[in-house]
């Protein structure tokens, strides 16, 4: 089983809909992250959480919100989806401290029509 | 602002033809440089962390090196299964306590049999 599991793997929805992407991990890491990946732009950080009570905005948080339900679960919501939020979304986890690599799930491909 | 530039954008090799991928960076105080491999439909898979200039790390046919301005990923006698997108990311002191990773756009490597 994957250490970092994202659901759904693919989602097609319409403009204005509310969408939740979920991430769960079995690595026991405290730190969790949400990124989006767009062709030609690379991976960009949306939100991150260092523990259940700690939520922080990344570089592109507008239009997104997150919830850290437990150490192992971190969900990303799009309250009112718009077409330019069409992208690949990745969840990642890491141990505390710098030099620690982030470990990624296999992503959710989100298309907003 | 931290910047990471990877070159070339795409590289096509014949099996057994060794080459190098480049990652140049501009950051205020490097904490670490990370190399990842990403296969289609998958999340980035961690390969190496490099902390200081002069450091080298090896794994099978891959060898990563680091200077004060750039990192190289050397691929020796590549095989078709080495085909993937290789991502470079830096973690800088300027990122503060969030240990933010700044990613390059990646190099798409294709190894032909």
> How far is the C-alpha of A54 from the C-alpha of B98, rounded, in Å?
11
- On chain B, the residues whose CB falls within 8 A of the CB of A101 are 34, 46, 49
The reply to whether residue B49 touches residue A99, judged by beta carbons under 8 angstroms, is: yes
Q: Which of B32, B46, B89 sits opposite A98 (nearest CB)?
A: B32
Q: Which long-range contacts (CB under 8 A, 24 or more apart) does B56-65 make?
A: B64/B35
Rounded mean pLDDT of A50-64?
93
| Residue range B19-69, pLDDT digits in tens | 999 999 998 888 899 999 999 999 999 999 999 999 999 999 999 999 999
Q: What is the DSSP letter of A102?
A: P
For residue B41, the distance in angstroms to the closest alpha carbon of chain A comes to 7
Q: Kindly give, in sequence order, each residue whose CB lies less than 8 Å from that of residue B97, ignoring residues fewer than 6 positions away.
A: none
What per-residue confidence (pLDDT) applies to B20?
A: 98
Quick check: A41 pLDDT over 70? yes
- Mutate one of B38, B86, B90, B101 to test the A interface: name it (highest A CB count within 10 A): B101
Quick check: B95 pLDDT over 80? no
How many other CB atoms are there within 10 angstroms of residue A35's CB atom? 28
| Residue range A25-37, pLDDT digits in tens | 999 999 999 999 9
Burial of B108 (0-12, 13-18, 19+ CB in 10 A): middle
Task: Inform me whether the C-beta atom of residue B55 falls under 8 Å from chain A C-beta atoms.
Answer: no
Structure tokens given for A55: 């939520």
For residue B113, the distance in angstroms to the closest alpha carbon of chain A comes to 27
Task: Inform me whether the C-beta atom of residue B105 falls under 8 Å from chain A C-beta atoms.
Answer: yes
Rounded mean pLDDT of B68-81?
97
- On chain A, the residues whose CB falls within 8 A of the CB of B44 are 43, 90, 104
Angle, alpha carbons B64-A98-A35 (nearest 5°): 85
What are the E-state strand segments in B10-113?
A: 10-14, 19-26, 30-38, 45-50, 56-59, 62-66, 70-75, 84-92, 101-103, 107-112
> What is the residue whose two structure tokens read 């029509």?
A113
**Which of A24, A45, A82, A22 is closest to B90 using CA atoms?**
A45
Q: With beta carbons less than 8 A apart as the criterion, state whether B30 and A99 touch.
A: no
The reply to whether residue A94 touches residue B100, judged by beta carbons under 8 angstroms, is: no
What is the end-to-end Cα distance of chain B in Å, rounded? Answer: 41
Q: For B85-102, b where at least 16 C-beta lie within 10 A, e where not — what string?
A: bbbbbbbbeebeeebbbb
Strand partners, A77: A20, A65
The reply to whether residue A101 touches residue B34, judged by beta carbons under 8 angstroms, is: yes
The reply to whether residue B105 touches residue A42, judged by beta carbons under 8 angstroms, is: yes
The reply to whether residue A48 touches residue B104, judged by beta carbons under 8 angstroms, is: no
Average pLDDT, chain A: 94
The reply to whether residue A101 touches residue B91, judged by beta carbons under 8 angstroms, is: no
| Residue range A88-110, pLDDT digits in tens | 999 999 998 777 899 999 999 99
* H or E element that contains A49: strand A42-51
What per-residue confidence (pLDDT) applies to B97?
A: 58
CA-based nearest residue in chain B for residue A102:
B46
> How far is the C-alpha of B97 from the C-alpha of A96, rounded, in Å?
11
């Amino acid at each position: 089983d994957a250490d970092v599991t994202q659901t759904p793997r693919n989602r097609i929805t319409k403009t204005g809909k509310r969408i939740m992407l979920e991430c769960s991990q079995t690595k026991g890491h405290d730190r969790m992250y949400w990124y989006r990946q767009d062709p030609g732009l690379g991976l960009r950080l949306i939100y991150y959480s260092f523990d259940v009570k700690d939520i922080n905005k990344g570089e592109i948080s507008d239009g997104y919100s997150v919830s850290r339900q437990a150490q192992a679960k971190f969900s990303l919501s799009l309250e009112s989806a718009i077409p330019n939020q069409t992208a690949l979304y990745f969840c990642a986890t890491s141990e505390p401290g710098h030099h620690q690599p982030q470990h990624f799930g296999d992503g959710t491909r989100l298309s907003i029509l | 602002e931290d910047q990471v530039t990877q070159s070339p954008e795409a590289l096509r090799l014949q099996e057994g033809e060794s080459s190098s991928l480049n990652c140049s960076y501009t950051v205020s105080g490097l904490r670490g440089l990370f190399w990842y491999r990403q296969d289609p439909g998958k999340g980035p898979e961690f390969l190496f962390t490099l902390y200081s200039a002069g450091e080298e790390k090896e794994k099978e046919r891959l060898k990563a090196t680091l200077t004060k301005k750039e990192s190289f990923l050397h691929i020796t006698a590549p095989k078709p299964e080495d085909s993937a997108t290789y991502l470079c990311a830096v973690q800088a002191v300027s990122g503060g306590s969030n240990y933010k990773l700044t990613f390059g756009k990646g190099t798409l490597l294709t190894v032909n049999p």
